[in-house]
Amino acid sequence: MMRPLVAGFLLTALVPLAALAAEESVQALLAAGFAVVGIVPSPAGPGLFLQKGDKLFACFVAETPTSPDLSTRYCKPVH
């Protein structure tokens, strides 16, 4: 199950991260045109795969019981 996911990572083109450089709420990224195309559990926090056009990003989410929303800890392009 992970092999197709890894293969998808390797086939995606390099893209600039200007839109994902700062911590942003998941809601803000969805409003900016990103779509959630996959999720994975991770020791770094829940992982989301976000796609915009033909570009794929792996993002890790931070959440606490007192946080008002889910925010990305960081996002990286998938190459």
At 40 the pLDDT is 93
What backbone torsions phi and psi does residue 51 show, to the nearest 5 degrees?
A: -125, 140
pTM: 0.65
CA distance 76 to 42: 15
Query: What are the pLDDT digits (tens) for 1-45?
Result: 455 444 443 333 333 344 454 578 888 999 999 999 999 998 877
| Stronger pLDDT, 23 or 54, i.e. the higher one | 54
Range scoring the smallest mean pLDDT among 11-15, 33-37, 47-51, 57-61: 11-15
Domain borders along the chain are 2-77
Contacts of 63 (CB under 8 A, 6+ apart): 45, 46, 70, 71
Q: Which residue has the tokens 């893209």?
A: 15
Q: In 3-state terms, what secondary structure has residue 5?
A: helix
